[in-house]
């Protein structure tokens, strides 16, 4: 794809406009959104993503259109997995429910900026060193193995180095001051936990990007598609947090499904790199095959997760009834 500079500026300006409007809505009326409101906004953001993908399909052709959809679905799926950690962060810092939207929005904006830098560095590295595809592929396979190995473990939030540095260096208090990021205590200007949580979400998402950015470069090497797929995946993440918050615990096989997707993309990267280096037996995997594998894996994973959760709930109910025992009624004469 040959994307002119003005198209980049227009795209970034459009994303900034949406973020500004979103921030205005959140700042005007901070609250815990209803299920209906969250559903509507998720539908809006998904529709915008699909409309953009159809636009790429119409303008650039099915190859690039398929690459965008494969990349967006993969990034969106990995972002859903990130929500598990976001829930842990919110709980750890005891964020008031009315201000969770603002925390998520600013944290996601920070994550988008950091991802943009990461994408630019990744694109430059790939353009200069084609052996990076072998490195990316091996890394994704290793990440997939690690995900499967740790899928049954209890997940906990561990503060990263940047977050620990901010907490150590920046004067802070453990008391919230509404949605403000700073407060004055005894004449001193201190940072509230609100800013710390935003940094936690933004930097934690960047750590997740270490997996997801190589994954999307395995589906498309077009920086424009990589950036827009990431942006659309992150944009609706705030509303998705409130929409499926109660569903996260039921998606018990999600990590395994994502591991299979990452392993598939890793193998795809290595095979295609070998093909480009003259290995005759190494195939190039069409983007439609990749898209089918990604969508199919996510669909099967979701269905199996919900079925397992339903069986576990039924078993727990039955067990509870057995422990309670039959109720005996006595009647007086």
Q: Where are the domains of the chain?
A: 12-308
> Which pTM does this prediction carry?
0.75
Q: Which two tokens stand for residue 251?
A: 């998606």
Q: DSSP letter string over 200-256?
A: HHHHHHHHHHHHHHHHHHTT---HHHHHHHHHHHHHTHHHHHHHSTTTGGG-TTHHH
Q: Among 230, 247, 253, which Cα is nearest to 300's?
A: 253
Q: Which two tokens stand for residue 110?
A: 């920070």
Q: Which two tokens stand for residue 226?
A: 């990589």
- The phi and psi torsions of 171 (rounded to 5 degrees) equal -60, 125
| Number of Cβ atoms within 10 Å of the Cβ of 280 | 7
What's the pLDDT score for residue 240? Answer: 79
Cα-based distances in Å from 52 to 14, 15, 55, 57, 65: 12, 12, 5, 9, 9
Distance CA 323, CA 315 (A): 12
Q: Among 247, 249, 257, which Cα is nearest to 295's?
A: 257
Instruction: Print pLDDT tens along the chain (333 aa).
Output: 788 889 999 999 998 898 888 878 776 777 777 778 888 888 888 999 999 999 999 999 999 999 999 999 988 887 776 777 777 777 777 778 777 777 777 777 877 887 888 888 888 887 777 777 788 888 888 888 887 776 555 555 556 666 777 667 777 777 887 777 788 887 788 888 888 887 777 777 766 667 778 888 888 888 899 999 989 988 877 777 777 665 666 777 877 888 888 888 888 888 888 877 777 787 888 888 888 888 898 889 888 888 887 887 777 777 666 656 555 554 444
b/e per residue 209-223 (b: at least 16 CB within 10 A): bebbbbbbbbbbbbb
The residues, any chain, with a CB within 8 Å of residue 192's CB and separated by 6 or more, are: 172, 173, 175, 176, 177, 180, 181, 182, 183
Q: Which two tokens stand for residue 268?
A: 């795809």
Cα-based distances in Å from 81 to 84, 127, 241: 6, 30, 11
Tell me if 50 sits within 8 A of 68, measured CB to CB: no
What's the pLDDT score for residue 331? Answer: 47
Tell me if 150 sits within 8 A of 167, measured CB to CB: no
What's the pLDDT score for residue 321? Answer: 60
């Amino acid at each position: 794809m040959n994307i002119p500079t003005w198209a980049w500026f227009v795209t970034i300006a459009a994303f900034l406009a949406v973020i500004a409007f979103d921030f205005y809505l959140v700042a005007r009326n901070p609250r815990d959104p209803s299920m209906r409101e969250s559903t509507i906004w998720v539908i809006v953001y998904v529709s915008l993503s699909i409309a953009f993908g159809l636009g790429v399909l119409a303008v650039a052709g099915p190859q690039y259109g398929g690459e965008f959809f494969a990349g967006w679905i993969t990034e969106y799926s990995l972002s859903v997995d990130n929500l598990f950690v976001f829930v842990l962060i919110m709980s750890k810092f005891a964020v008031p429910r009315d201000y969770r939207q603002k925390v998520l929005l600013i944290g996601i904006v920070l994550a988008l900026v950091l991802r943009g830098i990461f994408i630019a560095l990744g694109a430059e590295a790939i353009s200069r060193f084609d052996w990076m595809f072998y490195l990316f592929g091996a890394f994704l396979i290793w990440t997939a193995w690690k995900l499967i190995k740790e899928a049954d473990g209890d997940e906990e939030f561990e503060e990263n180095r940047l977050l620990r540095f901010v907490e150590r260096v920046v004067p802070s208090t453990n008391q919230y001051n509404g949605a403000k990021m700073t407060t004055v205590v005894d004449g001193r200007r201190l940072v509230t936990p609100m800013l710390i949580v935003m940094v936690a979400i933004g930097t934690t998402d960047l750590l997740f990007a270490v997996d997801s950015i190589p994954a999307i470069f395995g589906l498309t090497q077009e920086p424009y598609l990589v950036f827009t797929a990431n942006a659309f995946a992150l944009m609706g993440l705030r509303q998705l947090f409130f929409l499926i918050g109660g569903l996260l615990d039921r998606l018990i096989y999600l990590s395994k499904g994502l591991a299979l997707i990452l392993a598939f993309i890793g193998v795809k990267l290595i095979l295609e790199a070998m093909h480009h280096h003259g290995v005759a037996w190494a195939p190039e995997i069409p983007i439609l095959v990749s898209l089918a594998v990604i969508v199919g894996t996510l669909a099967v994973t979701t269905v199996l997760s919900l079925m397992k959760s339903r069986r576990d709930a039924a078993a727990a109910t039955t067990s509870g009834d057995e422990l309670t025992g039959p109720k005996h009624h006595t009647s007086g004469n």
